[in-house]
Amino acid sequence: MPPWIERQRHLMDYTLAAMARRWGRNLGLVAVYTLLVFVLASVMMFTDAIQREAGQLLEQAPEVVVQRMVAGRHDLISADYMDAIAAIRGARQVRGRLWGYHFDPVTAANYTFMVPAANAPPAGRVHIGAGLARARGAAVGDVLSFRGHDGALFSFDIEGLLRAESEIITADAILLSEEDFRAFFGIRPGLFTDISLQVRNPREVTKVAEKIVERFPDTRPILRSEMQRTYASLFDWRQGLVLTVFAGALLAFAILAWDKAAGLSAEERREIGILKAVGWETTDIIAMKTWEGALVSLTAFLLGVLLAYGHVFGTSAVMFEPVLKGWATLYPRFVLTPHVDLFQLAVLAFLTVVPYTAATVVPNWKTAVTDPDAVMR
Amino acid sequence: MTNRQTHPPPIRRRRPRPSNLAVGVTGGLALALAGTLAAAALSNEEAAARMARNQALVAALELTDLCLFTEARYTRHLTQADLHTPFQDAPFSLDHFPSGSVVPPPPGITRHAPMD
Amino acid sequence: MIELRNVSKVFNEGRHNEFTAIRDVSLRLADREVTVFTGPSGSGKTTLLTLVGCLARPTVGRIRLHDRDISGLPERFLTQVRRHSFGFVFQQFNLISGLSAVDNVMLPAYPTGRPRSGLMARALELLELMALAERADAPVEWLSGGEKQRVAIARALINDPPVLIADEPTANLDTAMSRDFLAILERLVEQGKTVLMTSHDPLVYEAAMVNTVVSLRDGRVETVP
């Protein structure tokens, strides 16, 4: 082995032997540091994975959804609008959508009632999301009863369950027929929740949306690109919670670094003096301390990232569930497709390994350049 | 000088070299991470098939949102929330914490795009 | 052969606490001999050792090691000269506590990049010579004063330097241990080492093996026999 490698390994041996003297403290340090990286990397990976998931799923969302606004509220839209919108050049597949919410006192959860565009169940029957089925303990063949808009009891036979793997989009869904929907919510024929449409030429989407607003000033078109952007900024760094996590973590890290950088104990100074006196150069001491910082922070970084990967993709970010759940009683179970953004990982590595190593090396620097005869005085 | 050295020195227990241990541990972790990342980067047929099925469902049901926060209409369908829901006051609004704190106001509501 | 020519050392130069430790000292120290610097505390004997041992540079004057002027070398080269030419035994031993005896012995050789297996073997060999083979893996703070000093001697010898420098070596030892120390020195001199010591212990400077005693007072050489 070339002497320079052997020399670095000697320095590593020394710093490890020195760290082993206070193994409890150093192990604790690695543990805290790992936890820090774990939390940051978990947030990062989860955010990235869910943003990608949403982006891919919403590629299939309607190109434009048109809402009608009444006194600042989303209101039902008349079928007349549909005909007029269909007449706009470029608009196609204009369809009235029927969907809405119902609060179920049994589970204290909100469900989303929807009428599918095609293959809707026959009257009296429903298809339900897997999350809902879990919350109600319901299975195919069971009967679900809800009170409708007028207090009348509606009973639906469960004809089918939506696949569990689709919970991230359908956990709370109840698919039912149009006539059941209208009867349940008391919505007259000719009224819809909103209108969805596709646009022939994707480059004309904005133009079509503008024409719709021009024609109906009381409407608000929502573009697919806007839907995707909403989810692309989900858990964005600006959001409160993520910011709070980051701020807390960075503060903890700053305290850690400050504590290290605040200076060396008399004992540490004396040891550096001894090393210099027995023939170590300033660069040897700096290299030795660099190894200390690099080994601690690198181990913590690698361990933290690996644990975060297991947490996000193995356990579906079980620790973030309370946050995502919020006040909801119904929460989807879903598996995220493993994906890690290497650039983000590199940024995280840079933000954790480098400052810690610097905080370890810098206070030693000043001590290391003192005269080697200091120990004799 | 003492004459204790006439005794044969005891056989020393061979301890592993510290740097070997450290390089082994960090190297092992680095390899594990590299392997994990490589496995994630490779196309996952099962995940791709699942995504394709879910995309088909999004298209068939004309879905606009993920079912992440079911507690309120403006969190269940983030993209469909009208312009006057309290949720959109600020991302910090405590009445909708924590859901409200992880989603931004919809694009178009703020003057500039939310991601700048 | 180490030669000092008109060497002076001033600390805190130009400040109110300026202090001249060595004034205009000229000396020749022969190879393979034992030289003891003696004198009251504050006489500058330890400072003189640090100058000779390349731990510090003189403010004025020249120091030659064999035919090389070492007084003007930059720190980097000075460290290399020190590492290869001098082994130090400090008054307080200056071992790194918490580390084992053998780890302490190997310390000065780390920057040289010598392979660990050979280094370890040499360190154990030296500890055995110092009758410390059984204590090799013990943390140094478990050792007695005499044992600590022998570890310090083994450490001073790990790079096989021609010159051994000891600062008040018997200050922390009782008479029996001091005699043990002198016996070890005698053997090292027989092996061809040059020994430089400071001491105000008669046991040391009156020992038969000592070739030269240099007496210092107020930074000046009082007597050179």
The residue in chain A having the minimum alpha-carbon distance to the alpha carbon of residue B29 is A302
Chains within contact range of chain A (3+ C-beta pairs < 8 Å): B, C
Output A100 or B5, whichever has higher pLDDT.
A100
pTM for this structure?
0.84
Instruction: Spell out which residues of chain A touch residue C198, defining contact as CB-CB under 8 Å.
Output: none
Question: Among residues of chain C, what percentage have pLDDT more than 70?
Answer: 99
How far away is chain B from the Cα of A67, in angstroms, using its nearest Cα? 8
Give the ipTM of the model, two decimals please: 0.92
Residues of C in contact with A18 (CB under 8 A): 96, 98-99
In chain A, where the domains are located: 3-58+233-376, 64-223
CB contact under 8 A, B2 and C131: yes
How do residues C57-96 score in pLDDT, each as one tens digit?
Answer: 899 999 999 888 988 888 888 898 999 999 999 988 999 9
Residue B66 lies inside a defined structural domain of this protein: no
In this structure, the answer to whether residues B81 and B57 fall within a common structural domain is no
The average confidence (pLDDT) of chain A is: 89
**B1 part of a folded domain:** no
Cβ of B79 and A230 within 8 Å? yes
| Cβ–Cβ gap C129/B4 under 8 Å | no
Percent above pLDDT 90 for chain A: 55
Residue from A295, A323, A363, A233 nearest A12 by CA: A295
A11 vs C contacts (CB less than 8 Å): 110
Q: What is the architecture, at CATH level 2, of domain A64-223?
A: Beta Barrel (2.40)
Q: Do the chains contact at B10 and C116, CB–CB below 8 Å?
A: no
Token duo for residue C216: 């210092």
Q: Which domain holds residue B34?
A: 18-61
- The answer to the question of residue B13 being in a domain is no
Contacts of B among chains (3+ CB pairs under 8 A): A, C
**Do C133 and B1 count as a contact with CB atoms less than 8 A apart?**
no
- Looking at the structure of chain B, the number of domains it has is 2
Residue C224 has what pLDDT?
A: 60
| Residues 97-126 (C) with a CB less than 8 A from some CB of B | 116, 124
Q: B49 CB near a chain A CB, below 8 Å? A: no
Do C136 and B17 lie within an 8 Å CB cutoff?
Answer: no
Question: How far is the CA of B87 from the CAs of A75, A366, B83, B97, C186, in angstroms?
Answer: 18, 53, 9, 10, 89
Question: Which of A245-259, A263-277, B42-56 has the weakest average pLDDT?
Answer: A245-259
Instruction: Check whether C191 has a pLDDT greater than 90.
Output: yes
Q: How far is B21 from chain C (nearest CA, A)?
A: 15
Q: What is the DSSP string of chain C?
A: -EEEEEEEEEESTTSTT-EEEEEEEEEEE-TT-EEEEE-STTSSHHHHHHHHTTSS--SEEEEEETTEE-TT--HHHHHHHHHHHEEEE-TT----TTSBHHHHHHGGGGGGT--HHHHHHHHHHHHHHTT-GGGTTSBGGGS-HHHHHHHHHHHHHTT--SEEEEESTTTTS-HHHHHHHHHHHHHHHHTT-EEEEE---HHHHTSTT--EEEEEETTEEEE--
Work out the pLDDT band at B24, boundaries 50, 70, 90. very high
Lowest model confidence (mean pLDDT) among A251-265, B4-18, C15-29, C190-204: B4-18
Mean pLDDT within A214-219 = 93
**Does some domain include residue B88?**
yes
How far does the CA of residue C139 sit from the closest CA of chain A (Å)? Answer: 10
Tell me which residue in A13, A232, A326 faces B18 most closely, judged by beta carbons. A13
Q: pLDDT by residue (tens digit) across A90-131?
A: 999 999 999 999 998 888 888 999 999 989 999 999 999 999
Rounded Cα distance between C92 and A115, Å, is: 88
For residue A227, give the nearest of B39, B47, B64 by CB distance. B64
